Amino acid sequence: MIVLRQALDDYLRVRRALGYTLARSEKLLAQFLTFVEHRNEDHVTTDAAVAWASLPARSHRSWMSTRLSVVRRFAIHLHGIDPVNQAPPRDLLPGGNRRATPYLYSEADISALITAAGTLRATHRVATYRTLIGLLAVTGIRVGEAISLDRADLDATHGLLTIRHGKFGKSRELPLHPSTVAALGNYLDRKDRPQKPPNAPALLVSTTGTGLLYTNVQSTFHQLVCRAGLQPRSAMCRPRLHDLRHGFAVNTILDGYRNGGDPKDRIALLSTYLGHIDPGKTYWYLSAAPELMTLASERLERHLGGGA
- Active-site residues, by number, are 142, 167, 242, 245, 276, 285
Say if residues 149 and 161 touch (Cβ distance below 8 Å): yes
What are residue 211's phi and psi, to 5 degrees?
-65, 155
Three-state DSSP state, 264: helix
Question: Measured between alpha carbons, how far is residue 252 from residues 222, 257, 267, 286, 301 in Å?
Answer: 26, 9, 9, 10, 22
Whether the upstream peptide bond of residue 56 has omega within 30° of 0, thus cis, is: yes
Say if residues 136 and 241 touch (Cβ distance below 8 Å): yes
Question: How far is residue 208's CA from residue 10's CA, in Å, rounded to a whole number?
Answer: 43
Question: Measured between alpha carbons, how far is residue 230 from residues 127, 134, 167, 197, 287 in Å?
Answer: 21, 17, 29, 36, 22
Say if residues 154 and 184 touch (Cβ distance below 8 Å): yes
Q: Mind giving me the DSSP string for 83-125?
A: TTS-PPPTTSS-----PPPP----HHHHHHHHHHHTTSSSHHH
The CB density around residue 220, as the number of other CB atoms within 10 Å, is 18
Long-range contacts of 276-283 (CB under 8 A, 24+ apart): 277/19, 277/168, 277/170, 282/249
**Around 34, how many Cα atoms within 13 Å sit in the side-chain half-sphere?**
6
Say if residues 197 and 209 touch (Cβ distance below 8 Å): yes
